[in-house]
A and B are shown apart, each in its own frame.
Chain A
Amino acid sequence: MRILVAAAGAALALAASAGVAQADPFKACWVYVGPHNDGGYSQQHDMARQMVAKELGDKVDASTYLENVPEADAETPIRGLAQNGCKLIFLTSYGFGDPGMKVAADFPDVKFEHATGDKATDNFGTYNIRWYEGRYVMGQIAAKMSKKGLAGYIVSFPIPEVVMGIDAFMLGAQSVNPNFKVKIIWVNSWFDPGKEGDAANVLINQGADILVQHTDSPAPMQAAEKAGIFAFGEAADMSSFGPKAHLASLIDNWGPYYLARTKAAMDGTWKSDQTWEGFADDLVQVGPLTNMPDDVKAMAEATIAKIKGGWSPFTGPITWQDGTVEGADGKPIPDDELLGLNKFVKGIDDKFPQ
């Protein structure tokens, strides 16, 4: 009996030491607000995750992701990831910020990265894309391609990121056609193909001949194709949904950033940061540029090059809806004001939603 117990104890010790001796791959995890294959926002994150897995191979375990996580109930799933060995967690939606911060406070060894967020701590960094740079270019294209000078804009919620997009789009459009107009519909959801399609049809019915969206499904592009007008896609290349309608899509290119951050976390060089890059770091792309004449394409490419060189679409002077002028000295609007932006530029007729 005593020999049996001793043998069992030895076997257990051997197994335990064998487990410790093995180097576990670095575990990085992702949290999505929508399905990993939504054809838009969350899918771009997932494709970037797969790129990390491919590039780093055995050294990283990038297979874990949670999808369709409701922002209101996110704390428990995020906590579960931290408890299950994730060392680097990417939270890909604005609403994951507060629950993520709570979990980060309890797990100081786990590093958190929050997309489109605005608050950071020692182990909680944020990263964001200057989507508004792309929106400015889209505005310029829209003003050139629209015969009626009226665009329909389908949006989700009035958060600063969305407002920046609308304002930059209008500024771009106004740089080509100062009388360009826009109709805005808030569908109060990031992803609802039925409602987005309805909103698209309503805008088309009210006379818009260009559609822009800041929501995640390809339904507006399909509606545009069916109605024979132009549209811009969002987050992913949506040209397959509207071969004749598609002008350009705002493409999120998270791959290089995820790769760099995962490597840094593995090396130990990771530091909490608030990254906010755009064309310059290739984090956002506008493409492919289809269904437009060469001179419009050239103009778009020239603007992209200008922004890459450091010019900001929010360079003053800018007139807001209430008449105040900002940046009269020609300086761009500072980042922290943009991050809290809650007003429309002059030329947008809709009142800013409260």
Chain B
Amino acid sequence: MGINEITGILLTIVTASMPLLIAALGELVTERSGVLNLGVEGMMAVGAVIGFIAGYLTGVPLIGVLAAILAGVVMAALFGVVTLIFVTNQVASGLALTIMGLGLSALIGDKYVSIPGLDLARVHIPVLTDIPLVGPLVFGEDPLVYLAVALTIGVWWFLFRTRGGLIVRAVGDNHGSAHALGYNVIRVRFLAVLFGGACAGLAGGYLSIVYTPQWVPNMTAGRGWIALALVVFGTWRPARVMIGALLFGAVGILQLNAQGYGVAIPSQFLTALPYLATVVVLVIISRNRMLLRSNTPACLGQSFVPDR
């Protein structure tokens, strides 16, 4: 296997992992504030369709990306109003958001199916990108990969090194005490939910603008659910979520490579392998109850009403 082939494999792994990572980071912040938003798949789908349409109509990929983020924010705002203002059950509302998002995206995108999208080129820095192996991986990715890496560092720094992040975590761990201290729990959670929506929308836009530049119904293909699992997998810590996303992407791409090389393992097993790998790691993590309990936001999924 030549160096070019290895580089190619690693590049495809990174590209495949990015939508999962971005969506998972958004959900991580949302869950750290105590809100369980199961609507990631729906928000991603709406982000994908709006992003594709905006990019296609204007001819500028950046506008498509911004539109995708906005679409995710709008969907998340809807979820926020329903669960934080009207205090409905978060799990049910999240599921409803997913189902609605999938259907709504298909409805909006009906006229835009099977139209080729724009081509977002990979970054190319004259000397640096041409270094074998390291070059394309570090300096030759498409722009959204760098954004995702920056996002990971940004989320980590925000949550664990700033006052704002401390408040978010406090609200997620003990909303009663946070409220007693004078923090506006509902406002903090609402902003966290909006951020989660923005990331989910961005991840969806990534799919329809960069990954496979087109819109087809259900193109998210369950990635939102995988992102939700990755948050737990990474025990609500950004760096571990990134490892999880890369692991999932790697297993998915490597099984395709194995098939290409003629490895005689049944393809159905290989297709299931990424999901199996995620389950295995989740089981291993869960065996250490202390690890899980010490990292789970204590008030995850619990509704908070200020005047009760």
Tell me the bound Cα distance from A40 to B113 in angstroms: 10
From the candidates B5, B219, B259, name the one contacting A194 in the complex (CB within 8 A). B219
Classify chain A's interface size. 35 or more
The proximity string for A residues 207-221 relative to B, scoring 1 for CB distances below 8 Å and 0 otherwise, is 100000000011100
Tell me the bound Cα distance from A201 to B213 in angstroms: 14
Query: Counting CB contacts under 8 A, is A316 at the interface?
Result: no
Residues on A with C-beta less than 8 A from B216 are 35, 38-39, 191, 193, 217
Residue contact B116 to A222, C-beta cutoff 8 Å: yes
Q: How many A-B contacts are there with CB distance less than 8 Å?
A: 110
Q: Min CB distance, A130 to chain B, in Å?
A: 25
Interface segment, one of A17-25, A97-105, A179-187, A325-333: A179-187
Q: Which of A190-213 contact B (CB under 8 A)?
A: 191-199, 201-207
Please give me the residue from chain A that is nearest to B114 by CB atom: A39
Interface segment, one of B26-34, B157-165, B262-270: B262-270
Residues on A with C-beta less than 8 A from B217 are 35, 38, 68
Residues on A with C-beta less than 8 A from B261 are 183, 206
Interface segment, one of B8-16, B80-88, B282-290: B8-16
Residue contact A219 to B256, C-beta cutoff 8 Å: no
Residues on B with C-beta less than 8 A from A68 are 217-218
Query: Counting CB contacts under 8 A, is B257 at the interface?
Result: yes
Tell me the bound Cα distance from A183 to B16 in angstroms: 21
Tell me the bound Cα distance from A77 to B114 in angstroms: 26
Residue contact B259 to A38, C-beta cutoff 8 Å: no
Query: Counting CB contacts under 8 A, is B183 at the interface?
Result: no
Q: Which 3 A-B pairs have the closest CB atoms?
A: A39-B114, A186-B267, A205-B8
Pick 10 A–B contacts, CB within 8 A, sort by A.
A35-B216, A35-B217, A184-B259, A186-B259, A186-B268, A195-B256, A202-B253, A202-B257, A218-B214, A222-B212
Binding site for A on B (CB under 8 A): 5, 8-9, 12, 16, 106, 110, 113-116, 119, 207, 211-214, 216-219, 221, 223, 252-253, 256-257, 259-262, 264, 266-268, 271
Binding site for B on A (CB under 8 A): 35, 37-40, 43, 68, 152, 183-188, 191-199, 201-207, 217-219, 222, 226, 236, 240-241, 349-351, 353-354
